[in-house]
Chains A and B, each alone.
Chain A
Amino acid sequence: MTLPAWTREPIVHFLAAAAALFLYFAWVGEPADPASRTITVTREDRAAMALQWERTMQRPPTDAELDALVEIFLREEVLYREAIRLGLDRDDTVVRKRLANKMDYLAASMAETAVVSDDVLAEWLAQYPERFAPDVRYSFDQMYFAERAAAAAALTSAPTNGESISLPSAFENASRSEVEGRLGRAFTATLDTLEPGSKWAGPVASGFGWHVVRLRAREIGKAPTLAEIRGEVEADWRGSTEAQRKKDAYELLRGAYRVTVQK
């Protein structure tokens, strides 16, 4: 069966949707325009305040507490309205910045809530593999010496245990960040230049002094598949597209302005 040609026209789709919307909101109605110097705290308002209290404190407010909430609300509301009347919101840096930020937020919220397909993430992972590469892992033994000469001597002489310091003598499968945290940047950089094997090497400098090192293994982790790190890739994708979306949204708005900067 083929539908008549007019049913494929976008304009018809739009009109149908518009009619549905119109009927719905004609039925629900528009909100009342509140008089500007009338504040009515309805039963529903009070109920909502009580609800928020309960949400925070995990119990309903007492009558006195609810009255206090209403008083706080009224005070804020009155001052807020008077401030608006006096135009205190204009030329206020905080208000201005806040509104700008909210506009940014509007643009970014789509990226926050959109559900992303595996295809998009797979492409993202392929595009930025370095962001998801696992840490290099090291297994090694180390002995510590305060003086370089002592460390050098230990390489050639009979086995010793090195000098006493509160550092592990053996690291098993330790990540690069862990090694760097314990022994510092200089040591870790040198570790990358050593050949794994059963020989002692050094002296290797660290922030503490000197070390002789037996690097038993250095494993460069295998690139993870999307299935293993989907959450991580998704988080990264979200973060990056949010920035791009804010930028795009701004460019769109910016394009509509004629800007003259007088020098």
Chain B
Amino acid sequence: MALNGNTDIAVVYHTRAAPQARLVVTHPRRSVLTCNLFLPHAVPAYRKIGGAAVKGGENGMGKIKVIAAVGAVAVVLAAGGYWLSRPAVIDPAEVAEAEAAIALTEFPETVLWGDTHLHTDNSIDAFGFGVRLGPEDALKFARGDEVTSTTGIKAKLARPLDFLVIADHSDGLGVMRRIYDAPRIAIRDETLRRWYDMMHESPQQSARATAELISAAGAGTLPEAMMDPERREETATDIWNDQLRVLDRYYRPGKFTPLAGFEYTYQPDGNNLHRVVMFRDGIERTSKVLPYPGLTEEIGGLFDYMDAYEQATGGKVLAIPHNSNLSNGLMFELTDAGGGPMSAEYARRRASREPVVEATQIKGDSETHPFLSPNDEFADFGKKGWDIGNLTLSRAKADPMYAGEYLREALKRGLSIEQRTGVNPYKFGMIGSTDSHTSLATGDEDNFFGKHTGNEPSAARANAPQNLGTQVGRFGWNYLAGGYAAVWARANTRAEIFDAMMRREVYATTGPRMVVRFFGGFDFTDNAFEGNWVRAGYKNGVPMGGELVDGGKAPRFLVSALKDPDGAHLDRVQIIKGWTAADGTAREKVYDVVWSDNARRRPVNGKVPAVGDTVDRAKASYTNSIGAPELRAVWTDPDYRAGERAFYYVRVLEIPTPRWPLFDALRFDMTLSPEAVDDAVAQERAYSSPIWIGPPAR
């Protein structure tokens, strides 16, 4: 029954299985309310009506229909009245109180593990690929509960995550709104009757019901609903607000932290310029805005949106670029977004709004590329398939594009631009994440649930072609299991995690949970690792993500890498330096700082030989008979030159371990293609955020 243009009430009653009525109320401000009434057993006085309904189902439908419908409406009105005035599920004051009760340590003592980039069924593409799990399942899975994946497989993390950002496409929400309205129309009076009748006629008829309803609605009612932008806004708001409420419900300060976010999906011509946008705040602030659309809006608009949010609410928000490897050279350009010379203002905005970048995820690794770093024998990780074109493969890759796509080169470009304009636009830290579209935030090789639901565990997925557009060229095994974001925070709260990202005290891993410390300073002694060296690191230097002011003395670094307690031993720890030479060009060099098994591994021509390989391909297993549980060193830059701008970041390499296709081959007793076998073993790794050194700011 259509009440007016805005509120619909419908009654579906159904008598065959049990005498009961089902009520559906839609209201533009409150989305949809439904309840099932169990007429005969609820109230004795109503028992005869229930009985009549049963009887009526067999004999005279019309009269009973009216009675049941009217009764249902009365109950709905009462329920609706309460519903419209219902309280928010979690009081923000309660959340604030729980946060305030969490003690902060003196300095960041434990590393928090999380995923900043997870899609659920609120993302239109994730949905299209078939995912049925929503934000609640995503949060449960991330905190360590067992859930059932869309394809019916039990899924559980071996170790829970500490935080999660659900980052559904903002345009997903927008596109979805449109279709979202269709069922509402479907439960209008005429269409409801049609649907109801068809449902009762035959399976063939009912199978066509939905499509016919949309079609009928399209000719008449549907455009009326679609033409009401206010209503569309309300539905988007509902989805966003529902999600914010769910996040607050699962927030356990000190234990598990969900953060609000969305993905801005700007991709001109299929060139990936996506960002995850992440909020520091709870529902009292985040509900004041809507996710910013990305399909038609350039990056300046996103920054305006972020400025406006902070000014209007006093909250904080940051953006995380990802898959620069699929941007065809556009993510880290030397020019501004319009192709003009980079202004100091644009550079400042990029740097302040994008403190961290995703270095690695399911769709490949963006640290560096063999084309850019020909002397780096570890640069080919996560490149196969990804470096042939942009996201949708609508444009092939050309060599000049690489420099705008990979993080090491971007950090170098940042130094060059800083030399010219005084501002470094690309002064970012590094994290890993999954970008999973299955609601399952897992980056573990032995627990890989695929890029999307169509790629959940199956015998076929590793060898099969798998592309995200209509063009072909990529295969299942090209996909990585994904990475995690490691955050050095003083406690597990939204504010602490967000602030750690702002100061770039974070690092990326490709899945394993190795613990990486990195301090830069000028006064570290050779025996700096004695006693409480972490406190000394904070006191006498800056942690990863920090900046040193050049004082004419070579910087020294404390670097420590502890293996994943349930993972593989470590091969080596490297420091990667980028700098601007006297002629203005940017250079890079990889230093092997400390490595395992050093009795048998003497550097040859300045390079440490490979650690070896213990992987049993048939069993998807390895042994920790090579490598080391911990590697640490005090290191001084041997090539320091006073006055130059430089950055240093750490790369930690594990010994070779099996990738997910080998686990699949074992599990499904299938044979991998020769190309997949070639790529079935890899050295998982961590990338720290850099420490910069340069002349005092102008």
Contacts and interface: CB of A to CB of B under 8 A. Distances in A.
Contacts, number: 252
A170 interface: no
A166 B206 contact: no
B22 interface: yes
A133 interface: no
B297 to A, nearest CB: 10
A165 B562 contact: yes
A36 B219 contact: yes
A85 interface: yes
B224 A33 contact: yes
B229 A31 contact: no
A104 to B, nearest CB: 8
B211 interface: yes
A3 interface: no
B17 A252 contact: yes
18 contacts: A11-B67, A17-B70, A21-B3, A32-B224, A39-B227, A45-B228, A48-B228, A56-B293, A84-B218, A89-B211, A99-B182, A99-B214, A166-B630, A167-B562, A252-B17, A256-B17, A258-B203, A259-B203
Given A208-B563, A256-B200, A112 B132 contact: no
A129 interface: no
B517 interface: yes
Contact of A257 (B4, B182, B206, B237): B206
Interface in A158-172: 164-167
Contacts of B2: 30-31
B199 A257 contact: yes
B16 interface: yes
A105 B184 CA distance: 11
B34 A94 contact: no
B629 interface: yes
Interface in A64-96: 72-73, 76-77, 80-81, 84-85, 87, 89-91, 93-96
A68 B670 CA distance: 54
Interface stretch (A119-127, A196-204, A215-223, A235-243): A235-243
A30 B296 CA distance: 36
Contacts of B609: none
A25 B214 CA distance: 25
A77 B226 contact: yes
Nearest to B560: A166
A227 interface: no
A249 B515 CA distance: 47
A238 B98 CA distance: 21
B592 interface: no
Interface in A1-56: 8-11, 13-15, 17-18, 21, 24-25, 28-34, 36, 39-41, 44-45, 48-49, 51-52, 55-56
Nearest to A24: B3
B474 interface: no
Cβ-closest 6 pairs across A and B = A184-B565, A84-B218, A58-B308, A17-B74, A48-B230, A14-B70
B3 A25 contact: yes
A207 B290 contact: no
Interface in B203-219: 203, 206, 210-211, 214-215, 218-219
A39 B89 CA distance: 40
A239 to B, nearest CB: 5
A257 B195 CA distance: 13
A15 B69 CA distance: 10
B629 A146 contact: yes
Contact of B210 (A45, A51, A99): A99
B381 interface: no
A235 B258 CA distance: 14
Contacts of A109: 31-34
Contacts of A31: 2, 4-5, 224
Q: Quick one: which of B70, B289, B515 has the most chain A CB within 10 A? A: B70
Nearest to A261: B203
Given A103-B183, A208-B630, A90 B36 contact: no
B127 interface: yes
Given A14-B74, A84-B218, A177-B160, A97 B5 contact: no
A9 B229 CA distance: 44
B16 A260 contact: no
B229 A45 contact: yes
B15 to A, nearest CB: 10
Interface string B64-97: 0001001101100100001100100110001000
B470 interface: no
B113 to A, nearest CB: 8
A66 to B, nearest CB: 12
A102 B16 contact: no
Nearest to A167: B562
A187 B144 CA distance: 19
Nearest to B189: A30
A99 B305 CA distance: 32
A34 B223 contact: yes
A249 B227 CA distance: 31
A224 interface: no
Interface centre among A25, A31, A73, A231 (most CB of B within 10 A): A231
Interface string B352-380: 00000000000000000000000000000
A195 interface: no
A13 B233 contact: no
Interface stretch (B173-181, B318-326, B499-507, B659-667): B173-181
A103 B607 CA distance: 61
A207 B242 contact: no
Nearest to A184: B565
A76 B186 CA distance: 21
B290 A56 contact: yes
B26 to A, nearest CB: 9
Contacts of A84: 214-215, 218-219, 222
B230 A51 contact: yes
Contact of B130 (A32, A57, A97): A97
A174 to B, nearest CB: 10
A248 interface: yes
Given A57-B304, A102-B180, A103-B183, A14 B67 contact: yes
A110 B23 CA distance: 10
A59 interface: yes
A113 B210 contact: no
B45 A10 contact: yes
A105 B34 CA distance: 10
A132 B309 CA distance: 37
Contacts of B186: 99
Interface in B605-638: 624, 629-630, 632
Of A15, A72, A94, which is in contact with the most chain B CB atoms at under 10 Å from its CB?
A94
Given A106-B34, A165-B630, A45 B227 contact: yes
A107 B17 contact: no
B210 A96 contact: yes
A74 B134 CA distance: 31
Contacts of A80: 178, 226
Given A97-B130, A110-B33, A57 B227 contact: no
B538 interface: no
Interface string A185-200: 1110000000000000
A113 B86 contact: yes
Contacts of A89: 211, 214-215, 218
Interface in B291-314: 292-293, 296, 304-305, 308-309, 311-312
Given A56-B290, A253-B199, 11 more contacts: A17-B70, A17-B71, A18-B70, A25-B3, A34-B227, A51-B233, A58-B311, A89-B218, A146-B629, A177-B159, A252-B20
Contacts of A185: 158, 565-566
A80 to B, nearest CB: 7
B292 A56 contact: yes
Contacts of B83: 113
Contact of B71 (A10, A21, A165): A10
A248 B17 CA distance: 12
A143 to B, nearest CB: 15
B154 to A, nearest CB: 15
